[in-house]
Homo-oligomer: A and B are copies of this chain.
Amino acid sequence: MSSKAPIGVFDSGVGGLTVVKEIMRQIPGESIIYFGDTARLPYGSKSKETIITYTRQIVRFLMGKNVKAIVIACNTASAFALETVKAELDIPVIGVVKPGAKAAAESTKNGRIGVIGTEGTIRSGIYNEFLSETNPQVQVFGKACPLFVPLVEEGLIDDPITMEMIRRYTSELIEKDIDTLVLGCTHYPLLRKTIRKIVGDKIELVNPAYETAITLKEVLTEAGLENDDNLKTDHKFYVSDGAEKFKYFANSILPCEVVETKDVNIENY
């Protein structure tokens, strides 16, 4: 495997771009092949079996592009499918949940951590699992927030309606006296400032995207696969539907210009 090979990153849609942004910032020498499964989003309300099927198809697509490592930039897919595909591949595969849990465990002082995410992520209890492994003393309180993704996609970022929904979803976590809140869905960092307004300054907001990029860097270094030639990066973007709409969104999130996004019939993989 050549260190010049790209890194495969995928999500159900645009949310994973918050992870791509961190990778570009922290390890700018790496080329990225991104796949957004826009035809089948959202993942958050789907079953484990379905998410594993979808993840395997995307992994086959990315392997066809000769990626040297894969980042599952979706909390739901990390929760449901990471262990399965990891066992099936001989390249490094990392998810966003473990790095996020690690950061939260390091951040908390009172041992009380809130996690917000999709129905699937919260129901899986995966943050709880990883946090308990890291520190059996912590108490974890999860809350599914199914309206956040549609609100972000409708562009209602700093809007009274979004604020009211943040208030409703987080009130029970605040009552539990959490001091750390994990943004357990890759869309949620886009609501970071609005969430901050509602929950106040005393709660630490953990963005797993940041820690995921650090973990990726460590994993690549360990495997001798790091590429620091950032003059030759070549990023490519693929989606299963709506390439133009995705490109527009990507250009509003990423530091580089996304010139082209291609449609892929992912069900054929």
| Distance from A248 Cβ to chain B, minimum over Cβ atoms (Å) | 13
Determine the chain B residues whose CB is within 8 A of the CB of A147 once the complex forms.
147, 150-151, 154
Interface residues of A in 33-86 (CB under 8 A from B): 38-40, 45-47, 50, 53
From the candidates B46, B241, B267, name the one contacting A46 in the complex (CB within 8 A): B241
B146 and A242 contact, CB distance less than 8 A: no
- Tally A residues with Cβ within 8 Å of B: 22
Determine the chain B residues whose CB is within 8 A of the CB of A150 once the complex forms.
146-147, 150
A153 within 8 A of B: yes
Interface residues of A in 225-244 (CB under 8 A from B): 240-242
Determine the chain B residues whose CB is within 8 A of the CB of A240 once the complex forms.
50
- How many protomers of this protein does the assembly include? 2
A241 to B7, CA, bound (A): 31
A153 and B161 contact, CB distance less than 8 A: no
A157 within 8 A of B: no
B242 and A46 contact, CB distance less than 8 A: yes
* CB nearest neighbor in B for A155: B146
A-B contact pairs, 6 of them (CB 8 A): A46-B241, A47-B241, A146-B153, A147-B147, A150-B150, A161-B165
* Interface membership of chain A positions 150-190, coded 1 if the CB is closer than 8 angstroms to chain B and 0 otherwise: 11011000001100110000000000000000000000000
DSSP majority for the A interface?
Answer: loop
- Residue from A39, A53, A146, A151 having most chain B Cβ neighbours under 10 A: A39
From the candidates B151, B161, B241, name the one contacting A50 in the complex (CB within 8 A): B241
* Interface membership of chain A positions 244-269, coded 1 if the CB is closer than 8 angstroms to chain B and 0 otherwise: 00000000000000000000000100
A39 to B52, CA, bound (A): 12
Determine the chain B residues whose CB is within 8 A of the CB of A146 once the complex forms.
150, 153-154
* Interface membership of chain A positions 124-164, coded 1 if the CB is closer than 8 angstroms to chain B and 0 otherwise: 00000000000000000000001100110110000011001
The 7 closest A-B pairs by CB, nearest first: A150-B150, A50-B241, A39-B50, A46-B241, A40-B40, A47-B241, A267-B267
Determine the chain B residues whose CB is within 8 A of the CB of A164 once the complex forms.
160-161
A242 and B39 contact, CB distance less than 8 A: no
Determine the chain B residues whose CB is within 8 A of the CB of A40 once the complex forms.
39-40
A39 to B241, CA, bound (A): 15
* CB nearest neighbor in B for A146: B154
